[in-house]
A and B are shown apart, each in its own frame.
Chain A
Amino acid sequence: MGSSSTVQASLSGVTRVYPAGGAGKPVHALGPIDLELRAGEFFSVVGPSGCGKSTLLDVMAGLAPPSSGTIAFEGKPVRGQVPDGIGVVFQEDASFPWLTAYDNAAFAARQAGLPENEVRARVEHTLSFMGLMPFAGAYPAQLSGGMRQRVCIARTLVTRPRLLLLDEPFGALDQQTRLLMGDELLALWRETGATVLLITHSLDEAALLSDRIGVMSARPGTFIDLVETGWPRERDSRIVSRPEFGELTGRIWAGLRDQSMRALAAAR
């Protein structure tokens, strides 16, 4: 099961400082961060806005170099390139407007050179799983923001990543839809057996979906708390009514409240 404790990705002493642009000062955006992601776990990151969550994702994926520290994925150092086996869904809408939902979903698999019948099998499976099959022929302009984000998730899933990095994929959705999407994400996670790192600013979402939650401080973001939820692997959004759920969100918020106020004060 996914609860095996092999380490799939690890960060040690990772920081990221954005160099000074123009007249500005360099921005210390992240770290130092130490983290070990266990193979198959569902890990969420919560933190105040601007604390460096997206930066953390960039560095983990090999999209941006760390200013110090090291990152490893499946035992090999991550440097300058995105390693095979990592899939990323960005915070921004990255669906390609010139392709249908189907072709968007097939894009990565085709680029990887998979035979077309294999591509079709995977795309159809993924699209129907995500409830997008009726919209396979639609262009992103004809889909809602949430559906476009699901198209991006499908495009990533079709490549069968072993580590899935999701940056606020449901940011644009209302609370009810978010809960349902969360259930979908859980089912997906169980089906694929992949490790998931989910960035979110919703405490409920983190408490509901995760095995573990990393609570980040205001910028420069570091982990101030690592919370084990202890949920069973078979779970869904109905656990919001359990008393432990309230305790969990309470604990996360206790850590976060102070940090969020600091972030807000710094922004003023």
Chain B
Amino acid sequence: MTRAGIIRIGVLVGAVAALEAACRAGYVNRQAVIAPSEMVRGAWRVLGTQEARGHIAETLTTVSLAFLLSVIAGFAIGVALHRLPRFRRAVDPLLASYYAVPTFVFYPVFIVLFGLNRWPLVAIGFLFAVVAVAINTLDGLDRLPPVFMRTARVLRLSPRQTLLRITVPAIAPWLFTAVKFAVAYSFIGVIAGEFVQAGSGIGFAIAFAYNSFDNLTMYGLMLLLFAFVCTLNMSLWTWEQKLYARRGGR
């Protein structure tokens, strides 16, 4: 492990240990924060219940749908905009200011449209993620060396072959960034939506535990969510580093 890695782990372990000590010594109000060891116990207990497992499965399905749809649509939008430079010039300011708009205010509208089920959540996660995917795809396509497209023509590749065999691998680093954004934004959109208004899911379960002063369940669920998202991100990051090492930043 690198020196930076050791320091990073040291900082994390130190922070957790400090919190544990503070909680045990009674410096922290138990109604507000529970000790990390308690959180682990809570997480373990939550995992044991059928109901919580249902919420987790529900959220993961919703997030996966939002993620997949946003990646597919965002990539398609990026490619289409790249092919239509005039149209792109028209919508560029809209893309640039997109994340200044609190998309979340549309959540009630989606509930009215789709009903109180999974789809308003998918829609809000999708809306959060899709533009980040489109912007990163466009960015990658802008930096695609023109000589690659000329090579494709010399080798007489079809448009489909060119896309799959040259364009996609060439812009893989940008697509990777797009995927990382899509994961994070789908999670944020879906969990926030469940928090505000939903009948199931992790966000709903956390809000429910909060309202019933059930700190053990609440922190248990938060810990599980945190662990899952971090693991996912770390694996993506490791994979990306391998890719970069080979390509030497190109």
**Residues on A close to B: CB < 8 A?**
61, 63, 81-82, 84, 86-88, 90, 92-94, 96-99, 107-108, 111-112, 139-142, 159
Contacts and interface: CB of A to CB of B under 8 A. Distances in A.
B150 interface: yes
Q: How large is the interface on B (under 10, 10 to 19, 20 to 34, 35 or more residues)?
A: 20 to 34
A contacts with B: majority SS: loop
B165 A88 contact: no
A16 to B, nearest CB: 15
A49 to B, nearest CB: 19
17 contacts: A81-B153, A82-B153, A88-B150, A90-B150, A92-B147, A96-B170, A97-B248, A98-B170, A98-B172, A98-B247, A99-B169, A107-B155, A111-B155, A111-B165, A140-B250, A141-B247, A159-B155
A62 B172 CA distance: 29
B248 A88 contact: no
A97 B250 contact: yes
Given A61-B154, A98-B247, A90 B170 contact: no
Contacts of B157: 111
Contacts of A108: 155
A80 to B, nearest CB: 10
A142 B147 CA distance: 20
Contact of A139 (B148, B155, B246): B246
A81 B172 contact: no
A196 to B, nearest CB: 16
B231 interface: no
B250 to A, nearest CB: 4
B147 A94 contact: yes
Contacts of A90: 147, 150-151
A87 B154 contact: yes
Interface in B142-176: 145, 147-148, 150-151, 153-157, 161, 165-166, 169-170, 172
Given A97-B250, A139-B247, A141-B247, A63 B145 contact: no
Contacts of B247: 97-98, 139, 141
Interface string B172-209: 10000000000000000000000000000000000000
Contact of B145 (A94, A99, A111): A94
A206 to B, nearest CB: 24
Given A98-B247, A111-B155, 16 more contacts: A63-B153, A63-B154, A82-B154, A88-B150, A88-B151, A88-B154, A90-B147, A90-B151, A97-B170, A97-B248, A97-B250, A98-B172, A111-B157, A112-B155, A141-B247, A141-B250
A11 to B, nearest CB: 18
B169 A63 contact: no
A87 B151 CA distance: 10
A63 B149 CA distance: 11
B5 interface: no
A70 to B, nearest CB: 20
A93 B172 contact: no
B93 interface: no
A139 B246 CA distance: 6
Contacts of A86: 154
Contact of A141 (B147, B161, B172, B248): B248
A159 B155 CA distance: 9
Q: Which of A88, A97, A107, A112 has the most CB of B within 10 A?
A: A97
